[in-house]
Amino acid sequence: MPDARLQIDGDRLWHSLMALAAIGATPKGGVARLALTDLDRAGRDWVVAQAREAGLSVVVDRIGNIFMRRAGRDANLPPVMTGSHIDTQPTGGKFDGNYGVLAGLEVIRTLNEQAISTEAPLEVVVWTNEEGSRFVPVMMGSGVFCGAFGLDHAYAARDTDGRSVGDELRRIGYLGSRAPGDHPVGCYFEAHIEQGPVLEEAATVIGAVDGALGTRWYDCTVSGTEAHAGSTPMTSRRDALAVATRVMQEVVALGNRHAPHGRGTVGYVDVFPNSRNVIPGRVRFSIDLRNASAALLDAMVGEMRAFVDRLQSESGLAIDVEEVAQYAPCPFEPGCVALVERTAARLGYRHMRVTSGAGHDAIHLARVAPTAMIFVPCKGGISHNEIEDADPAHLQAGANVLLHCMLEKAGIAR
Amino acid sequence: MPDARLQIDGDRLWHSLMALAAIGATPKGGVARLALTDLDRAGRDWVVAQAREAGLSVVVDRIGNIFMRRAGRDANLPPVMTGSHIDTQPTGGKFDGNYGVLAGLEVIRTLNEQAISTEAPLEVVVWTNEEGSRFVPVMMGSGVFCGAFGLDHAYAARDTDGRSVGDELRRIGYLGSRAPGDHPVGCYFEAHIEQGPVLEEAATVIGAVDGALGTRWYDCTVSGTEAHAGSTPMTSRRDALAVATRVMQEVVALGNRHAPHGRGTVGYVDVFPNSRNVIPGRVRFSIDLRNASAALLDAMVGEMRAFVDRLQSESGLAIDVEEVAQYAPCPFEPGCVALVERTAARLGYRHMRVTSGAGHDAIHLARVAPTAMIFVPCKGGISHNEIEDADPAHLQAGANVLLHCMLEKAGIAR
């Protein structure tokens, strides 16, 4: 077991984060570096140059994932892998994704400096288009790598200007030749800011992420009759919004009833005709339900549908609920999760188990390799926002945990 | 008292409605004839030609109101006035407004045919820009005539292309020279489709309108914090929509609690950032409260504010409620209302007292003269819609009541 005094260089990690954040920097202090744009190319080029300087070999696959490898003593062992993404939201921050990639590079630099070799190879990966802001589906590169969907499906995705993933990969010079998923992965760790308030509220530095919540997405449409707000008595109304708001309340109540992991959110609302003195004739809105297991999700959905059925009979208005998407809950590998926890404890960091409510490349990796994630707090839990911020000491702590987890799994070559 | 057998010509009234509806007819069977457009000019020209053919003298005032007068035996008596408007909503119908003007013309034609003269003069008026779709304020011509606001204020109103009421009146040739409001009005009756479902639901032909509801308009803004729908536990949320929907429910409940005249409507909703997987950080919506007296409105507003105060403390989210507009309740003159009722009874029509929930030129006229309105049903209560429809027999009945009310007030010259 490597000495707990072995630490990454927190300043160097911070400066690399600031250097990458300069590419696509926004006036408000954030980063806008959308997948497969010229800025994404510039970011990739910068990361690849850093990797080469650190002595890593670089291979790009056909969906543009960048594999930066440090050889192990035993070339036959599958690599211990880490990584994340460097594409951002249109008004993104400096840390989401970028932290996972640069923490991986910092691990490599630390091992180089200390002249520590490992039995198994180490790989730091940049996954293509995790954010999905420009091209759908999200988590595209890791999804193709892990067989969640095919290369053709990913290539065919187009942005709002009609440009395809295939064309843009070629244009920016990141259409590699390796077949995605052609090499086995020993295990996968991903360091990431939490993007939520749990760690900060608990004054905790390290989240040992035991999995990701499953999600069910629905579109709900309530159909009433638009009518004059003055000349239509209350008893003659078929007010679509009056019925829709009851469903919206129930969605939130569902999340509350299914604590601790239940989530119920209405994020999108469209009212027709949306005029001050017209009773709404139609309301469409989104329903986002999350929980930690399929059984719990099924229970939430069952309660939601029963509520809607009752309300439909009671109100006489049609309420249509259509499923839009499903993302299954994803438990991470217990051994890897326990290793994160044990490592945090050994290094003396306050830690706790958490479950990710957001999507991450690690969720795809969990299909093909033992996987866990390492969360660190972000300020106010705010992410996908230009004011996204994190404490350098927390980022350093997360990278230290990553370093020791990778060393433990790869084994120090004596 | 004129013989109850004296009747207007229902077919002639219907054909005049269809002829005017041809000017600005839409493919879906409605009418789009916005105030002070070329189509409005064509409609005005057609109405004026009909009036001249019926022997009426025509005067236009400085806000474009058209006064079409049939002389009485005593030129010193103020006129018994009727009228309405011929401008429409962008997707308007054939009857809203047009019926009131053409019912007035039909009354004149009937008296001409029967060679009946009156003591007082009769006037049929086309009021400028009642709808307010192109220029605000609504009910503009009658508002200026009755002193609700000044000519300069009306002239300065501009459409979304920047064209002013003053310029457009001149352009279409309806900038008259008479000073608005320069002549007294003996009394005013306005026939109109109900634009609501009450008469139809009660299988009643004539509504004796006893006044108009008052209205209070508010903009409500709930400010929370936008956050990730997955990574933010329910207990850490400041969900603006979850709070806003409670206010929206209360607005409807207020209308229900204050039966029979209370109305509570949320017609407009704006959610920010309005994204499926983001907890809403801000929700703005409209509140429309109506009732028959200022005291009842005050009570509704008091309950609304108390609810908002409680919810604000309970939720910790800021809820801002800003008054946007007030329209005072307008009781019509009891004698005129009773005359409508009595006349309907005498002519054998099913009738009931109703209160208008919508705005009408008559509300302004009630400031300067004894006023009442005559409502007839419209199909399904639907108005401001291209499918607006009305039963010819009901339109005929309303015009008959108008005829006899005007004769009663003007007096038959022997």
List CB contacts (< 8 A) between B256 and chain A.
Answer: 234
β partners of residue B331: B211
pLDDT tens string A73-96:
999 999 999 999 999 999 899 999
The size of the A-B interface in CB pairs under 8 A is 190
Q: Which of A161, A73, A172 is nearest to A128 (CA)?
A: A172
Q: What is the mean pLDDT of residues B61-73?
A: 98
CB contact under 8 A, B381 and A230: no
Q: Is A123 on the interface with B (CB under 8 A)?
A: no
Q: In this complex, is the C-beta atom of B246 within 8 Å of any C-beta atom belonging to chain A?
A: yes
Q: Given a cut of 90, is residue A2 above it in pLDDT? A: no
Give the mean model confidence (pLDDT) for residues B111-136.
96
What percent of chain B has pLDDT above 90?
A: 93
Residue B29: C-alpha distances to residues B20, B90, B94, B395 (Å): 13, 13, 8, 18
**Partner-chain contact B267 A277, CB within 8 Å:** yes
Q: What is the pLDDT of residue A320?
A: 98
The kind and range of the H/E element at A215 are strand A214-223
Chain B environment of A232 (Cβ under 8 Å): 196-197, 263, 357, 381
**B236/B218 Cα distance (integer angstroms):** 30
Those residues with Cβ within 8 angstroms of residue A225's Cβ, 6 or more apart along the chain or in another chain: A237, A238, A279, A281
Phi and psi for A406 in degrees, rounded to 5? -65, -40
Q: Taking CB atoms and an 8 Å limit, are B234 and A267 in contact across chains? A: no
Whether omega before B79 lies within 30 degrees of 0, making that bond cis, reads no
What pLDDT was estimated at residue A1?
67
The verdict on a CB contact (< 8 Å) between A263 and B230 is: yes
Strand partners, A193: A376
Q: What is the pTM of this model?
A: 0.89
CATH code linked to domain B214-327: 3.30.70.360
- CB–CB contact B274 A268 (8 Å): yes
Closest CB from B232, B239, B269 relative to A271: B269
| Distance spanning both ends of chain A, measured CA to CA | 12
Contacts of B357 in chain A (CB under 8 A): 228-233
Q: What is the CA radius of gyration of chain B?
A: 24
What's the average model confidence in pLDDT over A325-349?
97
pLDDT for the residue B1? 67
**DSSP, residue by residue, B395-411:** HHHHHHHHHHHHHHHH-
B392-410 and B10-21 helices, crossing angle to 10° = 110
Asked if the Cβ–Cβ distance from B256 to A269 is below 8 Å, we say no
User: For the segment B187-218, what is each residue's pLDDT rounded down to a tens digit?
Assistant: 999 999 999 999 999 999 999 999 999 999 99
* Confidence check: pLDDT of B358 > 80: yes
Query: What is the model's pLDDT at position A384?
Result: 86
What pLDDT, in 10s, does the model give residues B164-173?
A: 999 999 999 9
Query: Mean per-residue pLDDT for A240-256?
Result: 98
Cβ neighbours of residue A21 closer than 8 Å, sequence gap 6 or more: A31, A94, A98
Beta-carbon separation of A280 and B263 below 8 A: no
Stated as kind and residue range, the H or E segment containing A214 is: strand A214-223
What is the tens place of the pLDDT at every residue in A112-145? 999 999 999 999 999 999 999 899 899 999 999 9
Q: B384: which chain A residues are within 8 Å (Cβ-Cβ)?
A: 228, 278
Across the interface, whether the CB atoms of B277 and A288 are under 8 A apart is answered yes
Residue B404 pLDDT > 80: yes
Mean pLDDT of chain A: 96
Nearest to B252 by CA among A287, A253, A233, A250: A233
In the predicted structure, residue B61 carries a pLDDT above the cut 70? yes
CATH second-level architecture of A10-212+330-410? 3-Layer(aba) Sandwich (3.40)
Q: Is the pLDDT of residue B2 over 80?
A: no
CA distance B76 to chain A (A): 38
Quote the mean pLDDT of chain B.
96
Picking from B278, B286, B356, the nearest residue to A267 by CB comes out as: B278
- Burial level of A314, CB count in 10 A (0-12/13-18/19+)? exposed
Give residue B3's pLDDT.
Answer: 84
Shortest Cα distance from B19 to chain A (angstroms)?
Answer: 27
> Least CA distance to A255: which residue of chain B?
B234
CB-CB under 8 Å, A231 with B265: no
pLDDT confidence bin for A4, thresholds 50/70/90: confident
Where exactly are the structural domains of chain A?
A: 10-212+330-410, 214-327
**Calpha distance A278→A128 (Å, rounded):** 47
Instruction: Give the percent of chain A with pLDDT over 70.
Output: 100
**Tell me, what's the ipTM?**
0.89
Contact residues, chain A, for B91 at CB < 8 Å:
none
